[in-house]
Amino acid sequence: MTLECAMRAKSVAVVGASRTETKRGYQAIKILLDEKFEGCIYPVNPKEKSILGIKCYEKVSDIEDPVEIVLITTPAASIPAILEDCGIKGVCGAVIIAGGFSEIGQDGKKLESAMVETARKNDIRLIGPNTSGMINVANRLNLVGLRNVPQGDIALLSQSGNMALTLITEASIKSSKGFSYYVGVGNEADTHFHEYLKIFLDDPETKVILMYVEGMRDGRAFLQQAYETTRHKPVIMLKSGRSATGQRTAGSHTGALAGLSEVARTAFKRVGVVIVENSDEMFPAAETLSSLPPVRNNRIAILADGGGHATIAADLLSDANIDIPTLSDKTQDKLREILPAAAAVSNPVDVAGGADANPLVFAKCAKILLRDPQIGGLLLVGLFGGYGIRFSKSLAFEEEDAAHQMGKLVRTTKKPIVVHSLYNYAKPHALDLLRYYGITVYDSLEIASKCIGVLADHGNFQNSYEAQTNFVFDWGAKARRAGKDIIELARSECRTVLLEHEARSMLELHGAKYGVYRLVDSADEAIEAAASMEGPVAMKIVSPQILHKSEAGGVKLNLTSDEDVRRAYEEISVRAQKYDPTADIRGVLISPMAREGLELIVGTKIDDQFGPVIMFGIGGIMVEILKDVSFRVMPLTNREARLMIDDIRSVALLDGYRGRPPVGRKALRKLLLTVSEVVEAYPDIHEMDLNPVIAYQDGIEIVDARILLKAPDLCANT
């Protein structure tokens, strides 16, 4: 792989190399030298003979040895020509530092396109532009102005150099963990997030992937790659730019799409990405996931000395939907044997001063708790590490013993322990020992609770991993001839809206026949059709020119007698004619009035980041008021169809209310899956809107169906 060749390069050319110490072209070479890059450095600058003692070349193609990566520090406009030259040399990749591309507007976008085209023609992969650079920590290929990046197993992808600096600083001062790679993703002009993810999945040095994302160019490809990655390596993400102002800032920074919509949040979670909301939690979450086994059953024990901390931790874990089960009688008995009478042993466990003279008690409790098969992980909160400080130095040795025992306990039980300690600031040795065993320690209750929480998230995801998910659309494979004919007819008439009977036909072709209807073109035919239907009927005008049927007087409801039907037919025809004398009237759609039931909505759209997306929720008049809908990236699986139904806030409505029977969920799931299939079958479909869909105990009925096609290449203005 070309990108892999670049990121593991053993030879680097620096274009824009300089003898001026304040310039990036000087600093880049200096840092490679200082950090002892394992390969060869080639400064490139037509005006210099040597820089920092290294021979300088006029251009990249002059270099006599192979060059795998090029760091380009010159301004935007110069880049395409440099890339042409790099192409002659056959370099694998280039890091483009300069801004001034798509993030500045139309001119920048053009320049970016030209640059990418040149790169692709020459088989060069680009990192950036508008990036702080890239570091391969293991081989000391440091193409960023950051020194002393601690080496470790976390691969960092960031769209902000400042956030990278923040995380690297945090690792240096608070942790013994470090990084395998840092990539400043920049504008994603050529290489996209998912391609880095693939490299990190295959990289033996990398155990977890940590991402700071402001915008993402190809959400669907990312989902597919994340889905293949997260089973093996946790992916942690902070997505910023969710507010309007945040988007403004992110927009000015990267020029890509912003916003953590509900669609994005649900999609990321579905593929096992661990979402963190606070920047404070990013590094701790990565550190914990890289150091400890996941919680396999979502059940945590909390161990504390005194109240307060335990109460707060219990609140935090409950907020995160983590179970803090009451301990079994057997486990409670064992705890009682070693704890004073005042102790609480149900969970949270409060040793109530029982460790004051003997901090080994924590290790004993930890053993009892983690050996209980009911418990999947332990959160120790409060004062551990501080007993030697608070009471007597000799207790510090006991705490160290306890740390060794807890460390070994994690190894043997394969269950995690995360520790909150008020004394973390004092750096007691016992806490360093815990870290040696991979047990993570934080002085924030919120962060410690979040960290045991992400271990539970990751375990839950692995438990519920769904083998058949696939985000690659097999466009058109399931299309039917009759369906294509409907679209072709619309296209031939320069329409982007399918007529209602056409939309219904599309669904029916794929098995979603919900509701009876007939298209008629005379009053007599209408009467005959109505007679064949049960109960009162509804009639609607069908014309490509009349989209707002009610406004045009083209809708009549609750018609019972032949006379009513005849009069309705005539009125509809006359009013439609009056509304638009040029309208091409295809007939009148007649269908039975739907029985009263639960009004739902099903819709699809093309999301800018994720492509085809399906929506489900409470329909009818409540759509706008309740805004109670859920989203999924299509294609759907049966499981995701079930989950998206359960996701709506008012899901209880489906279980029946005011004496109504519950609605049949199987039929609903089938409708959602059919809609997903239809969208996949016909790439021309832009939007679908089924509203209301009325659900009953024994099935569903679609009252109104609308399908919009993508704007065609021709007749775009008709």
Chain position carrying tokens 């609607």: 540
For the residues of 636-685, what is the DSSP string, one character each? P-HHHHHHHHHTSTTGGGGG--TTPPPPPHHHHHHHHHHHHHHHHH-TTE
Q: How far is the CB of 511 from its own copies (least distance, A)?
A: 31
Q: Does 160 bind its own copies (CB under 8 A)?
A: yes
* Stretch binding its own copies (CB under 8 A), from 252-260, 466-474, 499-507, 560-568: 252-260
Binding residue (CB under 8 A) for its own copies from 50, 78, 162, 522: 162
Q: How far is the CB of 162 from its own copies (least distance, A)?
A: 4
The CA distance from 609 to 215, in Å, is: 9
Spatial CB neighbours of 670, under 8 Å, sequence gap ≥ 6: 511, 512
Residue 550 makes contact with its own copies by CB under 8 A: no
Asked if 95 interacts with its own copies (CB under 8 A), we say no
- Give the whole-angstrom CA distance, residue 704 versus residue 319: 40
Q: Are 539 and 526 in contact (CB under 8 A)?
A: yes
Segment interacting with its own copies (CB under 8 A) among 85-93, 185-193, 264-272, 305-313: 305-313
The residue (of 465 and 657) whose beta carbon lies closer to its own copies is: 657
Question: In what side-by-side order are the strands of the sheet with 417-420?
Answer: 349-350, 300-304, 377-381, 417-420, 440-442
Q: How far is the CB of 689 from its own copies (least distance, A)?
A: 17
Residue among 16, 93, 99, 428 that touches its own copies (CB under 8 A): 99
With beta carbons less than 8 A apart as the criterion, state whether 480 and 510 touch: yes
CA 133 to centroid of chain Cα atoms? 24
Does position 309 interact with its own copies (CB under 8 A)? The reply is yes
For residue 165, state whether it binds its own copies (rule: CB under 8 A).
Answer: yes
Kindly tell me which residue out of 4, 446, 466, 508 binds its own copies, with binding defined by CB under 8 A: 446
Alpha carbon 254 to chain centroid, angstroms: 18
> How many residues at the interface with its own copies, by CB under 8 A?
67
* Half-sphere exposure in the Cβ direction for 314 (13 Å, CA): 17
**What whole-number distance in Å separates Cα of residue 192 and Cα of residue 94?**
14
Selected binder of its own copies within 350, 400, 502, 599 (CB under 8 A): 350
Closest CA to 403 of 370, 377, 378, 366: 366
Instruction: Tell me if the bond preceding 325 is cis, omega within 30° of 0.
Output: no
Q: Is the dihedral of CA 668, 674, 677, 682 positive or negative?
A: negative
According to CB under 8 A, which residues from 166 to 205 bind its own copies? 166, 169, 173
CA distance 365 to 302: 10
Question: In the complex, what is the shortest distance from the CB of residue 613 to its own copies, in angstroms, rounded to a whole number?
Answer: 23
Residue 414, SS3?
Answer: coil
Q: Among all chains, which residue has been given the structure tokens 């369906």?
A: 483
Please report, as residue ranges, which positions from 274 to 293 form the binding site for its own copies (by CB under 8 A): 278-280
Q: Which of 62, 65, 64 is nearest to 48 (CA)?
A: 62
Considering only 1, 81, 88, 342, the residue that binds its own copies (CB under 8 A) is 342
Among 47, 49, 106, 245, binds its own copies (CB under 8 A): 245
Closest to 612 in 3D by CA, of 548, 676, 670 = 676
Least Å distance, CB 185 to its own copies, is 12
Smallest gap from residue 534 Cβ to its own copies (A): 25
The answer to whether 182 and 164 are in contact (CB under 8 A) is yes
Q: Which is nearer to its own copies, 158 or 191 (CB)?
A: 158
> According to CB under 8 A, which one of 212, 227, 283, 471 is a site residue for its own copies?
212
**In whole angstroms, how close is the CB of 610 to its own copies at the nearest point?**
20
Q: Which stretch binds its own copies (CB under 8 A): 32-40, 315-323, 602-610, 665-673?
A: 315-323
Which one of 98, 156, 211, 310 is in contact with its own copies (CB under 8 A)?
310
Element spanning 389, H or E: helix 387-390
Round to whole Å and give the CA distance between 442 and 628.
38
Contacts with its own copies in 366-395 (CB under 8 A)? 382-383
- State the minimum distance, in angstroms, from the CB of residue 277 to its own copies: 9
Residue 176 neighbours by CB distance under 10 Å = 14
Sign of CA dihedral 422, 428, 431, 435: positive
Interacting stretch for its own copies, rule CB under 8 A, among 28-36, 81-89, 313-321, 359-367? 313-321
Residue with tokens 């709506």: 648
User: Minimum distance from CB of 712 to its own copies (Å)?
Assistant: 35
Which two tokens mark 202?
Answer: 């295959």
Smallest separation, CB 679 to its own copies (Å): 29
Site string for its own copies, 405-444 (x = CB under 8 A): -----------------x--x------------------x
* Interface characters, 646-685, with its own copies (x: CB under 8 A): ----x-xx---xx---------------------------
Site for its own copies in 590-649 (CB under 8 A): 621, 624-626
Calpha distance 626→618 (Å, rounded):
8
Contact residues toward its own copies (CB under 8 A) are 99, 158-163, 165-166, 169, 173, 212, 214, 238, 240-246, 248-250, 252-254, 278-280, 305-312, 314-315, 317-319, 324, 342, 344, 346-348, 350, 382-383, 422, 425, 444-447, 621, 624-626, 650, 652-653, 657-658
